[in-house]
Structure 1
Amino acid sequence: MIARNSFIIMVSQAASAIFGMLALTIVSKLWGGYAPSIMGIIWFAMAFVGTFSFITNMGFDVTHIKKVSEGRDMGTCMGTFISIKLILIGILITSVLGSIAFWKYFMSEGFYDATTETVIYIFLGYSVFFALGQIAVSTFNSRKENVKSQISLLMDPIVRSALVIIVALAGISGAIVTYGGATTAIDLQPRYNWPGFLEPLQTFLATHTVGAMAIAYLLGAFAMFCMAFFLLRKYPVAKPTKNYLKMYFLFATPLMIPIIFTLITANIDKVMIGYFWSAVEVGYYSSVQRISAMILMISASIGIVVYPTISAIHARKNMDKRKKIREIAKVARDSERYASMVTIPVLAMIIVFAVPIIDIVLNSSFRPATMSFQLLTIYAYVFTIGVPYTYLIVGMNRPKQTAKIVVLAGIANIVLNFLLIPHNGLLSQFGISGINGAACSILASIIIMLVGLHYYSNRITGKRLFQGKILLHMIAGVVMGMVMWGISTFIEIIRWYHLGVLFFIGLGTYIGVLWCFKEFKKADLNFFLDTMNLRKLFKHVKKEMGEDPKFKQ
């Protein structure tokens, strides 16, 4: 069940990544060297609002999943969670508007251009709809109804990507961007002629490029919100009680600090790059970050399923404590092993072919982000293999330990950003500043976090959870990379299918090396084939979507 649910989530997130990557590729090809600057403005605004996004979470999403998976009253949990979310959304809106006023009127500072402040307001709306949609998504995840949660989440990239492509096809008229080190107004004729009756729309989009792009994101979040609440319509909602409010706050309180640090550090790098450098660098960094983030869909799919599974095992009252720990440890180890096994080939591919991937997916103007791309991909791998242990600790009711780890890693990340991102940063003489400095900072902080997760997981379970098998995966990945690089010296990689052929050759090498190490066996092959069995997969989806939700009375 864990494997199949994880695979469903991976398929959904892969589809989401493909839609997003398709839109990004089309924008990059149509806008050429202007793309980093315009998309940088968009992603700076998104990151600016994102630094406040912890307010709408504060650990209550995790708490809701925990309490519902433990079998608490569904209606009361829903009422409690909705009430808390609405209050937090109100605080988010007040905080963002207050910070803009402080920046403009007290600090007497401005924004990139005349449209950027408006873009920030649009992304505030995006965050509100996304936070509301998370009410339903967290509820589905708590009950392992992952098909519903993924259908809801998939609406965002589908709608957003379609609208982004439409905006890109409209061309650009009068947009203020940084290009070639200078700020200038640009005009870019649409690549294709629009039908006569659509010319007014094309003109409007071309003259409001940045704002229209931001609205595409807003409408994507709105579509996700609508789908999520449509699927949630049959779930009971009862008036929150004092006991449930207290229960939610008691569990969420230790998680608040780590949630704050997690979401701030996820966005502060883009904000600092924009502050110390320009929108162009934000565009470079955010673009390759989105490509490397495809690896994170593996960690997300594992975490969504593993957390309620561990919580449910830990909540069993009729099971011996030692047996509980054995089962939980096995879930964590198996999740880490398969996550590493699946992720390493992608990691090897990106490290070896970072430049051709950037040229093919984006365009050559994004090449300054090559080193960042490689470092962010390594970060994504380290993050992925740490996810099972994050949920092991929280699932066994040890949120304070998680808080300590995340706070330590978060402080390290913020300090390193200040030291490495500025023009005259600590390592600038070695070429590590700006986007490369940001990538080094986030990689160093996630390594600190992984060490902390293993330390506390070992203490809580009384078992040594580190697996030497992970090192075998790395060795196989190195061999795979060397084989792909060796073959690539005889061909020029200019098309996506060149990369595809090299990847499958490398993948065969990777599996062969693991087979020699006896790390990939027939049982593993059967596991993957069963997980990806389309007949069983569709049967599982049909069952979840066709049944009315059942709740304990």
Structure 2
Amino acid sequence: MIAKNSFIIMITQGTCAVLGMFGLFAISKIWGEHAPGIMGVVWFGMSFVGAFSFITNLGFDAAHVKKISEGKDLGKCNGTYIAIKLILTGIFAASVISTIIIWKYVLNEQFYDSTRESVIYLFIAYYVFFSLAQIPIMTLNSLKKNAKSQISILSDTVMRVFLLLIIALAGISGALIVTDAGTQIVNVPARYVWPAFFHPIQAFLSTHIIGAISFAYIAGALSMFVVGFIMLRKYPISRPDKEYMSMYLRFAVPMMIPVLFSFLNSYLDKVILGYYWTSVEVGYYFAVQRISFFVMLVPSAIGIVLFPTISSMYVKYRSNVKKRNHQLVQLTRFSERYISMVTVPLVSTFIVFAVPLIDIILNSSFRPGTLSMQILFIYTYVTTMYVPIFFLVLGTNRPQMIAKAFVLSGVSNIVLNLFLIPRDGLLSFVGIDGAAGAAFATLISALIMCWILLYYSGRIMKRGLFEKRIILHIVAGIIAGLLMLVVSNQFDIIQWYHLISLTLIGLGAYLGILFALGEFRKAELNFFLDTVNPLGLLRHVRDEMRGKGT
């Protein structure tokens, strides 16, 4: 069940990632060298508001999943969660607006340019819809109705990418972009001649390009919100009471600090980057970060299923600690092993072919982000390794330990960003500053997080949780990467099918090495084949959509 649900999530999130990359690909190819600057303005605004979005969560998302998976009254859980979400979302919007007012009228400071401020206001609306859409998504994930939750997530991407393609084809007229060389006026003609009836729309989009892109994101979040609540309509919602409010609050309070640092780590690097550099540098970093997060599909999918599973096991075997710990350790190590086995060849391939990947998916104007992308791929692998351990600690009711880990990792991330991102940063003499500095800070903080979680999980389970066989995966990945590098040096990689051919060579070498080391045998092959069996997956999705097992 865990494998199939995880694979369904991986398929959906993979589809979303591919569609998102297709949208970014279209924009990059159509707008050429202007794409980093234009998208950088949008992504800065998104990151600025996103840094406040921890307020919409504050640990209550995890509390909702935890309480439903423990078998609490579903109607009261839903009513409590909805009430809390509405309150937090209102506080979030008020906080962002208040910060802008204080910045402008109390401190007498200004934003980098007027366009950036307007984008910030638009992304307040985006995060409001995104926050409220988590109500059905978290509820369905808690019930392990992952196919339903993923449909709402998919609707966001489909809507956003569809609108972004239309906007990209409209061209750009008179956009102002700040670069190292000064302010530039950007004009890109429409790729195709629009029918006369649509000329007013095309003219409006091209002259309001940054606002139009922001509205595409808002429309996607709104779509996710609507579809999610359609999926939730048959589930009970009851009036919250004091008991359930207190129960949610008790679990969420220790999680507030981890959530704060988790969101800050996700967005603050782009804000600091935009402060010390320009929107162009933000564009480089955000774009390659999106590519690197392909690797995160595997652990994020498994984590969505793993958390409620661990929580329910923790309650089920409460009276038999020895059996409970044994099963939790087995489940965690199993997850670590198979996550690593899948992600290592992806990381190896993306690191070796970073430059051609950027050229093919984006365009050569994004090449300054090459080093940061390679560092980020190492970061994503480190993160994949601590995801099962993170959910083990959280699922066994140790939110205080999670809080301590996030504080140490989060503070180190913020400090490192401040010292590594500036043009005269600590490592600028070796080329690590700007986007590369942000990526390196992220990697170091992830290593700190991984070490702390391993320590705490060992204390909880009375044994080490590190799966030693992942060392074999890393060795095989390095050898396969070197082989791909040697073969690729024999010719220029200019087409996507060159990359696929070289990737298949690397994958074959990787599996061959694992087979020689005794790490990939018939049992592993059968497990993967059963997981991705399309007929089994279709039956699983069909049964869930028909409500079987509800």
Give how far 1:457 is off: 0.6
What SS does structure 1 have at the residue aligned with 2:294?
helix
Tell whether 2:484 aligns with 1:484: yes
**Residue of structure 1 in register with 2:113 after alignment:** 113
Give how far 1:231 is off: 0.4
One-letter code aligned to 2:26:
I
What SS does structure 2 have at the residue aligned with 1:115?
helix
- Residues 156 and 224 in structure 2, CA contact (< 8 A), matched pair in contact too: yes
Tell whether 2:80 aligns with 1:80: yes
One-letter code aligned to 1:174:
G
One-letter code aligned to 1:63:
A
The change in CA–CA distance for 1:257 and 1:179 in structure 2 (over 3 A counts) is closer
Tell whether 2:441 aligns with 1:429: no
**Residue of structure 2 in register with 1:59 after alignment:** 59
Tell whether 2:114 aligns with 1:125: no
One-letter code aligned to 2:104:
K
**Residue of structure 1 in register with 2:326 after alignment:** 326
- Residues 348 and 477 in structure 1, CA contact (< 8 A), matched pair in contact too: yes
Counterpart CA distance in 2 for 1:369 and 1:466 is 32
Matches within 5 A, 1:74-473: 74-179=74-179, 181-317=181-317, 320-473=320-473
One-letter code aligned to 1:262:
S
- Residues 41 and 112 in structure 1, CA contact (< 8 A), matched pair in contact too: no
Tell whether 2:55 aligns with 1:36: no
**Residue of structure 2 in register with 1:528 after alignment:** 528
Counterpart CA distance in 1 for 2:499 and 2:229 is 41
- TM-score with structure 2 setting the length: 0.99
**Residue of structure 2 in register with 1:68 after alignment:** 68
Counterpart CA distance in 2 for 1:201 and 1:452 is 54
- TM-score with structure 1 setting the length: 0.98
- Residues 69 and 142 in structure 2, CA contact (< 8 A), matched pair in contact too: yes
Counterpart CA distance in 2 for 1:229 and 1:369 is 39
482-491 vs 279-288, greater mean Cα deviation: 482-491
| Deviation string, structure 1 residues 383-420 (Cα, Å, up to 9, x no partner) | 01110000000100111011111110000000001111
Give how far 1:69 is off: 0.4
The change in CA–CA distance for 1:318 and 1:367 in structure 2 (over 3 A counts) is closer
Counterpart CA distance in 2 for 1:235 and 1:180 is 54
- Residues 235 and 549 in structure 1, CA contact (< 8 A), matched pair in contact too: no
Counterpart CA distance in 1 for 2:178 and 2:348 is 34
Counterpart CA distance in 2 for 1:432 and 1:505 is 32
Counterpart CA distance in 1 for 2:468 and 2:548 is 44
Counterpart CA distance in 1 for 2:394 and 2:318 is 21
- Residues 273 and 435 in structure 2, CA contact (< 8 A), matched pair in contact too: yes
One-letter code aligned to 2:2:
I
| Deviation string, structure 1 residues 237-269 (Cα, Å, up to 9, x no partner) | 111111111110001110000110110111000
The change in CA–CA distance for 1:409 and 1:184 in structure 2 (over 3 A counts) is same
What SS does structure 2 have at the residue aligned with 1:184?
strand
Structure 1 residues without counterparts, runs of 5 or longer: none
One-letter code aligned to 1:531:
T
The change in CA–CA distance for 1:195 and 1:426 in structure 2 (over 3 A counts) is same
One-letter code aligned to 1:104:
K
**Residue of structure 1 in register with 2:15 after alignment:** 15
Give how far 1:296 is off: 0.9
- Residues 234 and 549 in structure 1, CA contact (< 8 A), matched pair in contact too: no
**Residue of structure 2 in register with 1:26 after alignment:** 26
- Residues 317 and 324 in structure 2, CA contact (< 8 A), matched pair in contact too: no
Give how far 1:362 is off: 0.5
Counterpart CA distance in 2 for 1:405 and 1:318 is 25
Give how far 1:459 is off: 0.7
Identity of aligned residues (%): 51
The change in CA–CA distance for 1:204 and 1:430 in structure 2 (over 3 A counts) is same
One-letter code aligned to 2:243:
N
| Deviation string, structure 1 residues 435-490 (Cα, Å, up to 9, x no partner) | 11101100000000000111011110011111221110000001110111111111
The change in CA–CA distance for 1:6 and 1:294 in structure 2 (over 3 A counts) is same
- Residues 177 and 185 in structure 1, CA contact (< 8 A), matched pair in contact too: yes
Counterpart CA distance in 2 for 1:535 and 1:262 is 38
One-letter code aligned to 1:36:
P
103-112 vs 20-29, greater mean Cα deviation: 103-112
| Deviation string, structure 1 residues 145-196 (Cα, Å, up to 9, x no partner) | 1001111111111100110111010000010013562211121101111111
One-letter code aligned to 1:370:
T
**Residue of structure 2 in register with 1:46 after alignment:** 46
What SS does structure 1 have at the residue aligned with 2:295?
helix
Give how far 1:113 is off: 2.8
RMSD, aligned CA: 1.0
One-letter code aligned to 1:519:
E
The change in CA–CA distance for 1:180 and 1:170 in structure 2 (over 3 A counts) is farther
What SS does structure 1 have at the residue aligned with 2:114?
coil
Counterpart CA distance in 1 for 2:33 and 2:179 is 7
Counterpart CA distance in 1 for 2:497 and 2:248 is 51
What SS does structure 2 have at the residue aligned with 1:295?
coil
Give how far 1:43 is off: 0.3
One-letter code aligned to 1:137:
I
| Deviation string, structure 1 residues 14-33 (Cα, Å, up to 9, x no partner) | 00000100000000001111
Counterpart CA distance in 2 for 1:168 and 1:256 is 39
